[in-house]
């Protein structure tokens, strides 16, 4: 049984609920990653419980003015998003990500590295910055997830898929992505709206 990291919806409300993109990262993340603010739930229960939000690091990849985009294949862990195009590589935070300091920032960043290594093969070097959070309560998927957006700056466009769920990997300019807007999953649309501002 998979267990996933969650916070209570009440905590998000206390910090200030929002719809769409929120760029005040530290105000939210510092509190959500503090000891006692988060805990693990069984994933099947969490997927059906909007009184909790599963924390999902959602990483986007930028190289020389273009962003990585892919299509979610049939082996995707989130069946409700299959065949949609996505800008983000995301995944749940699991107990395997815990380190000696238990729940907290180290575990959170461990989960990002694990997820990316599982899903992509990246050539060259990269740096990363947390640029915002995504909340979308308008859909069944969005109502139980909270995205934390990490922007990776890549030194090389040498990126390939490491699993069947990630297909048709390509880099696009923002203008090109705008023409594919209706093909994008909701979180990617929210990020694109932010990047186009």
pTM for this model (two decimals): 0.89
What is the model's pLDDT at position 79? Answer: 47
- Cα gap 59→38, rounded to integer Å: 21
All domains in the chain, ordered by first residue: 3-196 (3.90.79.10)
One pLDDT digit (tens) per residue for the chain, 197 residues = 899 999 999 999 999 999 999 999 999 999 999 989 999 999 999 999 999 999 999 999 999 999 999 998 754 444 454 578 999 998 888 888 775 455 556 677 778 888 888 899 999 999 999 999 999 999 888 999 999 999 999 999 999 999 888 999 999 999 999 999 999 999 999 999 999 99
- Cα gap 114→2, rounded to integer Å: 16
- Cα gap 51→86, rounded to integer Å: 26
What is the model's pLDDT at position 76? Answer: 43
Task: Report the 3 state secondary structure along 120-175.
Answer: EEECCCEEEEEEEEEECCCCCCHHHEEEEEEEEEECCCCEEECCCCEEEEEEECHH
Alpha helices in the chain (DSSP H): 9-16, 25-32, 43-46, 105-119, 174-179, 186-196
185, 84 contact by CB (below 8 A): yes
């Amino acid at each position: 049984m998979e267990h996933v990291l969650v916070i209570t919806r009440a905590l998000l409300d206390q910090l200030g609920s929002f719809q769409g993109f929120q760029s005040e990262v530290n105000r939210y993340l510092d509190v959500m990653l503090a000891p006692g603010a988060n805990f693990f739930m069984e994933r099947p229960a969490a997927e059906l419980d909007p009184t909790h939000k599963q924390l999902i690091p959602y990483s986007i990849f930028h190289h020389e003015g273009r962003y990585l985009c892919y299509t979610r294949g049939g082996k995707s862990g989130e069946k409700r998003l299959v065949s949609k195009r996505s800008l983000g590589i995301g995944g749940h935070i699991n107990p395997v990500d815990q380190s000696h300091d238990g729940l907290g920032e180290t575990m959170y960043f461990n989960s990002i590295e694990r997820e990316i290594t599982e899903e992509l093969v990246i050539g060259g070097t990269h740096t990363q910055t947390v640029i915002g959070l995504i909340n979308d309560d308008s859909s069944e998927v969005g109502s139980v997830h909270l995205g934390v957006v990490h922007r990776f700056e890549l030194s090389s466009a040498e990126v390939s898929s490491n699993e069947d769920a990630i297909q048709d990997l390509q880099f696009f300019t923002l203008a090109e992505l705008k023409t594919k807007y209706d093909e994008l999953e909701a979180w990617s649309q929210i990020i694109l709206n932010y990047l186009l501002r």
